[in-house]
Amino acid sequence: MDAKMCTKCNETKQLDSFGTRKLRSGEVGHKSHCRDCTRTSNRAAYAANPGPVIERTAARNRANPEAHREAARKSMAKRRAADPEASRAANRKWRVDNPEAAALADRRKRQRNPELYKAIGLATSARRRARVAGAYVEDVSRDLVWYRDGGVCHLCALPAVGEWQLEHVVPLASGGAHSYQNTAVSHASCNQSKNDRWVPSALGLLGAYVVRPITCL
């Protein structure tokens, strides 16, 4: 690999240690300062007078919002991978210090991923109802239950297309658990008709489900 001498530190380094720039001829060449020297110089300039750097960065971010968001996501992912606990602590502190900005960020995430947040809300509601009823609570994934049941309503044995619900075969009010073994796919109408009654399952699941907390997956 070709090498070049840095005019700042006077050290000879590999070409990949230098940034690139466009020459007057239209060709792409390498900068005269290596990346390490350029980084040190930039940090010193920022420490001496941060205002212009902040303004240039803000202007660039306003002109390229998508690129700015993508760079921010990559930076946050890198920090989370390096130190997940510190990243979570920093996020909690930011949310406490900036409640309005945190609320706005949550609304934007919900707008971008409505189905995801709807599923999260339904799962949270089911766990809360199970805890109120004093039932055994397991972290049940709607996607896994749908895949396991093949998307078929266990009450009428018909495909549960469109809106569907995660139904407790043994009702929570009767001591049923919020677990993989006691949950199944159902139509919203079938679930509402069943309510808190013990209704025989069209797929024969009721006899296989018990109140004691047993995990089937």
- Which of 117, 127, 166, 126 lies closest to 146, judged by CA? 166
In order along its 217 residues, the chain shows pLDDT tens digits of: 588 898 989 999 988 888 888 888 888 888 889 999 999 998 998 899 989 888 988 999 899 988 988 988 888 888 888 888 888 888 889 889 998 988 888 888 888 888 777 777 777 887 787 788 777 888 888 888 888 888 888 888 888 877 788 888 888 877 778 888 888 888 888 888 776 666 656 555 554 444 333 344 3
DSSP state of 95: H
Helix or strand holding residue 5 (H, E): strand 3-5
* b/e sequence 155-178, b meaning 16+ C-beta within 10 Å: bbeeebeeebbbbbbbbbeeebbb
Q: Residue 36 phi/psi, 5° resolution?
A: -65, -45
User: Is 0.75 topped by the overall pTM?
Assistant: no
Q: Which CATH architecture has domain 135-208?
A: Orthogonal Bundle (1.10)
Domain ranges of the chain: 135-208
SS3 of 35-81: HHHHHHHHHHHHHHCHHHHHHHHHHHHHHCHHHHHHHHHHHHHHHHH
